[in-house]
Structure formats: structure tokens, C-alpha cells
Amino acid sequence: MSYLIIALLGITVTQPNILDQTDEEWTALGYRVIEEVSINPLDYGEPIGWGENCNGPTASIGCQAFFVPTDNGEKWRIVMLLKDKLVILQEDEELRDIPLACSPTGIIYSRNGRFALVLGRFIDSRRGMYAREADVVNIETGGVRTFEALKNTHWPSMFFVNDDGSIYRWSTTTENPLEYYDPDLNLAFSRETNVGWGSRFGHASGGSIIVFLEAGNILTVYDRAGTLLWEKELDVTLQISPFMVSADGSVLIMSARTGLKCFDGFTGDLLWEWTDCHTVAPVPSVSGHAWAVSMTTKGLLFGADASSRESLTDMHYPTENWRRGAPTAVAINGACVLSSSSEPPKYQNNHLRKIIYTNTGGEILWISAPCSSASSPLTFSRNNNTEVGLRGGVNSIQSDGERFAYSDYNRVLIMRVEGGGEE
């Protein structure tokens, strides 16, 4: 398979109103997008809870797709949180059930799909005192460990699960402590912060740094020893999205009304900036330095090397009835999976979605048929990650961009992209 590759030196790619052209699945000329796998999560157990929508009962579960490296190449993995267990489906392997010690209410995944923190029910919520069940699951081995740190906690927390199974935890107490638990779940440090609830944040999935916007609009970066690496005072008028941090922590992108700023994650040095448009919701690749971010002018910015301004591609796709595609997964070569929602007046159901696949040259190659999160039998409300791209959906992409995963809220689907040529 080969993709159409074009030079990415600050280029602009514009496509016609293809999002408005059809309410059926659409594929670019010369390509095929083939359904390889179709899975109904409810075939594997009971959901955590039930609700109602306009078409009847809807099941609430946690579910996320990943593409993981193995000795036999990259394989898809689907992790499902059901009523009393995790179910692991993986390409070329037998189904695995992982029984849980807690009574699950939600799940937080590591970006590489190897670890998960399963949040259980509150044991005691009297007088604002919370004691919570939680299990840390090694998805590779099936090992389950109780996260003892939550048994004596007093307030809710925000969690970031790293690719090695270590955990950052930020608690909303008076001191707003930031804590780091190593891969053996030992508390390595706890330090006071000046972070307010609702603050912007980000972390390197490898665990090397964690980023917060502290009170006074002070951008702060800590390492896994709790050391403050650097801080910057930002313009107080900025309205920013959560920070995008590369897996190794070396690159940090800040998305705001004024555009983008890219910093060295360890030193705070400004690597480059782009000031042409309001941007939101930056997403990193699982490994490497690829990234993507939405533009409010109904387009996409992306690059295969976040440290380089010259790798940036400015992609526009004019449309009247659909909002900009928000990136949810990025391959290391810059291919992307996006999610676009409908907007009135043509579509009154603002829960209607289309999934979009773009190639490394910034071209839309495939658009799904519309699907609705408000009228289908599945919801992924138990996905509790705070990071963009890992909450509320299952979207994922293989590192080379040749396969991707998404859900139409009825099934979880693995798709293969074929075709194209070279220039």
C-alpha cells in the first residue's frame, strides 16, 4: 500500500464541500476502505448501566480501541469495561476476561493500551468524605492490583495513567496536591500546587512530565520527581485547550484563540508559533511527534514532527451543515481520524456524527455515514480519560495509518485503507 505524499512545507490543502455532498458513506476516487472487523460489545457481557434514548434502551459501557506492537507486527486491541470485568479482544489471540475486584463505574486508559485504572463505586460519601474502590489493570498480563491510595482519600481526583503503568494524581483539596505513583504504585512524591478546578493540563504518556495551568495563568511543568522544570506567565486573555504533549515529553503544544505555540517540554524554549487562526483540541500520536489540532475555520492543522514548523499542513474543507472535524487519533505519519458533528438548521440532531479519515497529505479519503450518539444502543460514557482523544469514543489509528477503528454506536469497527499512488 502507498499513500499520496506531498511536501509539507507550510502548504494549504483545500477540498470542496464533500461533507455536505452525501448522507451515505463516501470514499475518495482510487481508494477502498474495507471493514475488517465488526464487534457488538454487548455480545460479551452486561453493561455497567442502562438508560433511555428516543429509540429505547441504551447501554452504558467503557470501550476503547488500540493498535499495539507485537512480535508479529501491529495488532488491533479492543478493551471493554462491562458490569464486572474487562474483556480484551485482540487480533490473532483468544478472547480474555479480566475479573475485577471493584464494582466498576468508569475507566481511564494509558495511551498505549497496556494499562487501565478502573474506578469503582464510592464506599462512603458522608460529609464530603470519599473512599473509593479502584483497580489498576495490566492489560498485557491480566494482573489486577487494588489502588490503595484511594481508600483514604477525602475528595475526588483527576488521574493520568502513563504507558508504564505509573499514575499522576491531582486532588481537589485545599493544597491541590500533585502526586506521582511509580509502576509499582508506590507514592514517589506529593507536592502542593496552585491549580484550580477546571484548569488546563497535559502529560507525556511516557510519564516524564505533567503540565498544568496554575492560578494567575502560570504555565507550569513538573517532572516525575516532582521538580518544577519551568514556568511561564501567559497572557490572561488566552482561552486555551488542554495541552498536547508528545509521548517522550520533549514537545509541548499550546492551542489558543491566538493560534499555536510549541515549546521544548523540558526547557520551555519556544520552538515555533503559528498565529493565523483560533485552534482547539490538539491530539498527539501514541508514539513519535505527530499531532493534529482543529481550526475554528472548519479545517485541520497537523504535522508529522511537532518540533518543526515546516511540517505544518493547513487543511480546509468548507461545509455548511457540519462542524469542523475534531481530531481523535493521529498516526506517526500524520494520517488522522476526525469526528464531525452536525449543526442546524439542516440537521436538528446535534448528536449526529460523521467520522473522517485524512491521509498524510491532508486530503479527506473517507467519510462515514452519519451515526447518532443519542439514538443508538451504545454509549461510551464510562470512558473517563480527561485527555482529548480518549474520552467518549473508541477511535484509534494504526501507527502507519493503514487501519483505524471507530464506532457507529451500534458496533466497534476496524477499517483498512487501500489504494492511492505516488507522486
Can you tell me the mean pLDDT for 317-342?
A: 85
The CATH number covering residue 85 comes to 2.130.10.10
> Is 4 within a domain?
no
> Is 60 within a domain?
yes
> Is 179 within a domain?
yes
Per-residue CA distances from 144 to 109, 140, 141, 397 (Å): 14, 11, 9, 27
C-alpha to C-alpha distance for 203 and 166, rounded to whole angstroms: 12
Give pLDDT tens digits for 190-213: 888 887 666 788 999 999 999 988
Q: Let me know: does 263 contact 252? Beta carbons within 8 Å.
A: yes
Nearest to 378 by CA among 356, 351, 355, 398: 351
Q: What pLDDT, on the 0 to 100 scale, is given for residue 374?
A: 78
Q: What pLDDT, on the 0 to 100 scale, is given for residue 6?
A: 34
Pick the more confident residue, 11 or 362: 362
C-alpha to C-alpha distance for 131 and 112, rounded to whole angstroms: 29
**Mean pLDDT estimate for the chain:** 85
The whole-model pTM stands at 0.90
Q: What pLDDT, on the 0 to 100 scale, is given for residue 8?
A: 38
Q: What pLDDT, on the 0 to 100 scale, is given for residue 298?
A: 54
Residue in this structure with the C-alpha cell 491532508, named with its chain if needed: 362
> Is 264 within a domain?
yes
Q: What pLDDT, on the 0 to 100 scale, is given for residue 89?
A: 98
> Is 390 within a domain?
yes
The residue segments making up the domain with residue 240 are: 12-419
Pick the more confident residue, 296 or 410: 410
H or E stretch including 11?
A: none
The tally of domains found in the chain comes to: 1
The residues near 420 (Cβ < 8 Å, ≥ 6 apart) are 1, 2, 3, 4, 30, 31, 359, 365
> Is 38 within a domain?
yes
> Is 88 within a domain?
yes
